[in-house]
Structure 1
Amino acid sequence: MEEKIYRAAHVLVIPYPRQGHINPALQLAKRLASKGLKTTIAITKFIFKTIQPQPPSSLQFETISDGFDERGRFAEAVSVHDYLQKMEAAGSKTLAELITKYKNSSNPIDCIVYDTFLPWALEVAKQFGLLGAAFFTQTCAVNYIYYLVYNGLLKVPVSSTAAPVSITGLPLLEPQDLPSFVYVAGEYPDYFEMLLGQFSNTDKADFLLVNTFYELEDEVVNTMHKICPALLTVGPTIPSFYLDNRIENDKDYDLDLLKTDKTICIDWLNARPKGSVVYVSFGSISSLSHKQMEELAWGLKQTDFHFLWVVRDSEDLKLPKGFIEETTNKGLIVKWSPQLAVLSNEALGCFFSHAGWNSTIEALSLAVPMVVMPLWTDQPTDAKLVQDVWKVGIRVVVEENGIVTRDEIEKCVRKVIVGEKAREMKLNAEKWRKLAIEAVSEGGSSDKNIDEFVSKLGTTSYKYY
């Protein structure tokens, strides 16, 4: 006689193999595991071999191939297009093998949660009759703009002389407020194709999960939900320690591709007065010109505030001659930083950022006002929201030559830290932090959505013996 034995549903989470995508995917996985799901993260063989990660006790790691197992994509891929093609071929094959490996076990995979940069993962899931959940790591606003472009409802490129663009659920957007791929014709076509490709098969997905929270983007979430009813906001996906503290020992992202000595930054910050430090970081990809690095450096010096500046190895030769020596008493330059620990430190006065979404939602979640200097992709739209919708910061003004001057940098930093609207921005930031905490706390908007996701998976979470 067959017996029905209930088990936890098994979710396989597949991030796009870049730090800015791995972090939110890993944190979403932790949230799902905290709800009782069996949760596995599939990272590339090269990343696993390189960092030998130790998973949190609630998760387990598996590997798939992106086609570049020996030296990684940057050493082996000849172009972005080459990388994406090879990853789809190798990833599809090894993902199918991984699903098959678990198929006859006591914990077969029930659902694939995949980064939307990897639409082929959904095709593999459906071949095996599994549920598929697309995970968007950018704002709902940016996702909706790309959705409109993909479906021919917003023509690109939008001319620099065009009137403000009206999109339901969003403020009026000047052309320069749109994602750079929409505003600048032909910029990085392979990346643009990948971004639009997020929507190539989302009609087949059972869930669309977005790394935002409802209260932050309610109007555009409502708008997009009408055409994508499977959409669920599940963010902010940052370690629980910094929000609701409901997940035990969840203080870090736990999968850092760039290592740092955390004590250097924190010890330095702890020796600075409250609200006195400008934290400067442009993420793991963005690159500044030599001229812009020079203007930023001397602009920071002109503020006379303390500063903590993340300058990657690929950027440090762009620092102007004599700058480090002249700012020894005011600044600390590091290769990488424990960003959440930095943002939560009382010494911080503002975050000078590129307005990448991970950095932005971390700052919002930790009540840190911002100066934003967007460079490309989704960052101009994020910057528009930071300044004009959430009102937690200032966007720098760019000269006709594409450079932000040292005087502009000094002026913006001063406005955010000691200007007449500095207190208002800080109060707005504290409001968004409170709402972020409420969203992930028990019964909050994101928590309810995660519960809904888990509940729907639960209808398939049994096995006959």
Structure 2
Amino acid sequence: MERSRGVKPHAVVVPSVGQGHINGAMLLSRSLATIGFDVSFVYFSTYYGKLREINRLVLPDPDLRGRIHVQVLEDAFEPGDFEKLIFTSPAMKENLFDFILGEQRKSVRRPTCLISDIFAPWTLEVAQRACIPRIEFSTSNAMFYVFITNLVHLYSEGIFPEKGSPTKWRTENPLMLNHIRGLPPFSSEIMPQELRFNDASHPFVKFFNEVESCSKYSERLLIHSLTDLEPNAFKALEVQGIKAYGVGPLPNPTNKPSSEQAECISWLDSQSDHSVIYVAFGSLATLSVEEMQEVAMGLEGSGCPFLWVIVNDPQTQEELPQMLPEGFLERTKDRALIIRWAPQLEVLSHRAIGGFLSHCGWNSTLESLGKGVPMLCCPLRAEQRLNCHYICEEWSAGLEMMRTDTGGLEKDFVETGVRALLHGDQGLKARENAQRILRLIEQCHKEGGKSAASLQRFYDDMRALCSMSEGD
């Protein structure tokens, strides 16, 4: 329920690069605005232009635009430097500081806090200069945050970098990590290879060490997860003295689909209940042409209807016929729909969807299980193997697709996995468990739910801080 009395707390929200990070930050902004915050949502110019160009710009709904103010700041990067935005430029720091300073000079809407994606550690310096608390926001799960905050220890103790080959998908004797307070031992294989096999001087490892270092100076941690899904990880955060709030899965409104998207819903309307496998590998996880062809042949061999989202890769600009096996589109036209984009929530909500073949990005994981849809897991990068571990081993809400020794995709693995998920006993059990998680998620933002309570506690904390500032 929105609080209307007194001065509202004002949060400046800074996402990191990547569609999932930006979407998560906007979902948080929506929830904060709904309970009474004023929100300034900061885009930087390079990714603002990039996202607008590919029609993936996240903006607040019309009814929230008076409470969520989108601010575009210059970052001084060249257009080709888009990928470098995970780091920073001097202009980003100065322009964000100047924006906050300008807001502080106003009699109303003075910023109460800076809410920063954990992968924007450079915002700590800005928050300290502006004398406002930095609140961390993780768009991933709690377990990955625990791992990040122990990374320096793993390197200092000589546990990382690991011995062995980083090209191996599985090892016969995986390294068991039993060095993290509050967590039971777990295999290092579920963590990103870039953090397991590179030495401490590698830029990727140094960046994560900076993330860990900045976490020590942040006032609160908001995690896009639910404590009941990750009890061990949230307990470990508590043991380590980190004040963490599980605020997820954040409510995600559905929008009226475009004409292309409406076509996909109409196509689903013509399919039988739980008969279709939905295939999508996220906005960043593009497959090679060879991998695409293996997936295509596996889907064809499964004999199951499928809805496949193939995101346009601006680097190749290849057309679908060149990316797929010869004759594939013609052979599968009676039981397949292949499109460039889909309204994922609406698709996952549809009665025809029987499973989701996914890269296991955290947002996609929450969206799938939030609709009770079991998953066929094909993790590709980042923390996706950890998400896969949760889905298949901890929650038994999906099946992990087999891979080659080097993690490659083969048509037989795809075919077997799709059939098992849609028609096998394991798939039926996964659906039952996905439905159980759906019921858990449905409760979390209702009155008295744990995520709703966490958001309210955060509001109360910031409201008290706001009142203290007004009294100064």
Does TM, normalized by the shorter one, top 0.5?
Answer: yes
SS in 1 for 2:93: helix
Describe the shift of the 1:171–1:217 C-alpha distance in structure 2 as closer, same or farther (beyond 3 A): same
Aligned to 2:210: 197
Kindly indicate whether structure 1 or structure 2 has the higher relative contact order, using CA contacts under 8 Å at least 6 residues apart: 1
Deviation of 1:48 after TM superposition, in Å, equals 4.3
Q: Which residue of 2 aligns with 1:242?
A: none
Change (3 A) 1:18 1:260: farther
Q: How does 1:106-125 map to 2 (within 5 A)?
A: 106-125=108-127
State the distance in 2 between where 1:265 and 1:169 align: 46
Superposed CA RMSD in Å reads: 2.6
* Secondary structure at 1:460 match in 2: helix
The corresponding residue for 2:420 is: 415
**Gap runs ≥5 in structure 2:** 164-170
Alignment pair present for 1:355 and 2:363: no
Alignment of 1:358-369 (within 5 A): 358-369=363-374
Partner of 1:247: none
- Return the offset for 1:188: 12
Give the 5 Å matches for 1:60-459.
Answer: 60-68=69-77, 72=79, 75-76=80-81, 80=83, 82-85=84-87, 87-105=88-106, 106-152=108-154, 155-159=159-163, 160=171, 161-166=173-178, 172-185=185-198, 189-239=202-252, 250-252=253-255, 261-314=260-313, 316=320, 317-459=322-464
Tell me if the contact between 2:261 and 2:341 (Cα under 8 Å) persists in the aligned partners: no
* Runs of 4+ residues over 6 Å off in structure 1: none
- Helix, strand or coil at the partner of 1:200: helix
Determine the C-alpha separation between the residues in 2 that align with 1:54 and 1:367: 27
Cα offsets for 1:381-424 (capped at 9, x unmatched): 11111111010111112122532321221111111111012222
* Residue 346 of structure 1, CA deviation: 0.9
1:131-190: CA deviations, max 9, x gaps? 211001111111212222133367323344444334566565334322222344479954
CA contact (8 A) 2:225 2:246 kept: yes
1:86-125 deviations in Å (ceiling 9; x for gaps): x341211111111122112111111111111111112211
TM (normalized to structure 1)? Answer: 0.87
Instruction: Say whether the 8 Å CA contact 1:17–1:44 is kept in structure 2.
Output: no
Instruction: Tell whether the 8 Å contact from 1:170 to 1:219 is kept in structure 2 after alignment.
Output: yes
Fraction of identical pairs, as percent: 26
How far 1:261 moved relative to its partner? 3.2
How big is the shift at 1:446?
1.1
The change in CA–CA distance for 1:116 and 1:432 in structure 2 (over 3 A counts) is: same
Cα deviations across residues 252-293 of structure 1 (Å, max 9, x unaligned)?
A: 5x9x9xx98321221111121111111111111113233322
Shift of residue 33 of structure 1? 1.0
When the two structures are superposed, what TM-score results if normalisation uses the length of structure 2?
A: 0.86
Displacement, 1:55?
A: 3.0
CA distance in 2, matches of 1:26, 1:346: 28
- Give the 3-state SS of the residue equivalent to 1:17 in structure 2: coil
2:251 and 2:411 map into 1 onto residues whose CA distance is 33
* Partner-residue secondary structure (3-state), 1:6: coil
Alignment partners' CA distance in 1, 2:450 and 2:27: 17
Structure 1 residue identity aligned to 2:140: Q
**In the alignment, is the contact (CA less than 8 A) between 2:175 and 2:189 conserved in 1?**
no
1:83 is displaced (CA, Å) by 3.9
Please state whether the residue corresponding to 1:349 is helix, strand or coil.
strand
Match of 1:244 in 2: none
Matched-pair contact (CA < 8 Å) for 1:158–1:182 = no
Give the direction of change, closer, same or farther, for the CA distance of 1:142–1:450 in structure 2 (3 Å limit): same
Do 1:142 and 1:179's aligned partners in 2 also have CA atoms closer than 8 Å? no
> Which amino acid is 1:279 matched to?
Y
**SS at structure 1 position matched to 2:20:** helix
Any conservation in 2 of the 1:209–1:231 contact (CA below 8 Å)?
A: yes
| Separation (CA, whole Å) in 1 of partners of 2:407 and 2:147 | 24
Question: Is the 2:194–2:205 Cα contact (8 Å) retained in structure 1?
Answer: yes
**Structure 1 counterpart of 2:37:** 37
Q: Is the 8 A contact 1:181 1:188 kept in 2?
A: no
What is the CA-CA distance between 1:53 and the residue it aligns to?
A: 6.4
In structure 2, give the amino acid aligned to 1:158.
Answer: E
> Match of 1:245?
none
Amino acid at match of 1:313: N
Q: Unaligned 5+ residue runs, structure 1? A: 240-249
Residue 217 of structure 1: how far off its partner (Å): 0.2
User: Which position in structure 2 is the counterpart of 1:246?
Assistant: none
Q: Is the 8 A contact 1:141 1:170 kept in 2?
A: no
| Counterpart Cα distance in 1 of 2:461 and 2:190 | 37
| Residues 136, 88 of structure 1: alpha-carbon distance in 2 compared, 3 angstrom cutoff | farther
Alpha-carbon contact 2:181-2:239 (below 8 Å) kept: no
Number of paired residues? 439
Cα deviation, 1:227-264, whole Å, max 9, x if unaligned, reads 1331111111241xxxxxxxxxx435x9x9xx983212
The residue identity in structure 2 corresponding to 1:381 is L
Partner letter of residue 268 of structure 1? W
Are the counterparts in 1 of residues 190 and 383 from structure 2 also a CA contact under 8 Å? no
* More divergent stretch after superposition (419-428 vs 132-141): 419-428
Task: Tell me the distance in 2 between the aligned counterparts of 1:382 and 1:169.
Answer: 19
Report the CA distance shift for 1:34/1:349 in structure 2 as closer, same or farther (over 3 A).
same
CA contact (8 A) 1:181 1:187 kept: no
